[in-house]
Amino acid sequence: MPVRISRALLDAIISRAAGSPAAEVCGLLLGQGEAIEQVEHCRNVASDSRTSFEVDPAALIAVHRAARKGGPRLLGHYHSHPNGIAAPSDRDRAAAEPDSLWVIVAGGRVTAWRVASSGDFVPIELLVE
């Protein structure tokens, strides 16, 4: 099933990735159902941001708290791959949580993935509105 995102939100993700060509950037994707309605840019706290990402835990906790109070729910996250490969890496596969949405920006491309219950990444369509 395709996931909807506005042109403005997608452009914000692409711009953030372009602004950090040597390090992975990351953020959270918030919304309802199959629609990304908000993007929360986050600090990458990974020990080596050139090859991996870790969303700042404080940002993640804040998003979960807001969702419990009726805010948009966490659908997944986005991150960039400075290596230019817009596909899940081995590190991504190790961190995958079933049913989460992953948007990867790399090499001028944006790809979207849903993690299946098996842990496999399944490509999905992003419908840009």
Q: What is the per-residue DSSP string for 47-101?
A: S-TTT---B-HHHHHHHHHHHHTT-PEEEEEEEE-TTS--S--HHHHHH--TT-E
* Structure tokens given for 21: 């060509």
**Average pLDDT estimate for 13-30:** 96
pLDDT at 116: 93
Closest to 14 measured CA to CA, from 88, 100, 70, 86:
86
Residue-range definition of the domain harbouring residue 97:
3-128
In tens, the pLDDT along 34-91 reads 999 999 999 999 999 999 999 999 999 999 999 999 999 999 999 999 999 999 999 9
Domain count for the chain, please give it.
Answer: 1
In tens, the pLDDT along 105-117 reads 999 899 999 999 9
User: With 90 as the cut, is the pLDDT of residue 96 above it?
Assistant: no
pLDDT at 1: 83
What CATH number corresponds to the domain at position 44? 3.40.140.10
User: With 90 as the cut, is the pLDDT of residue 17 above it?
Assistant: yes
Closest to 102 measured CA to CA, from 128, 83, 81, 84:
81
User: With 90 as the cut, is the pLDDT of residue 21 above it?
Assistant: yes
pTM exceeds 0.85, yes or no: yes
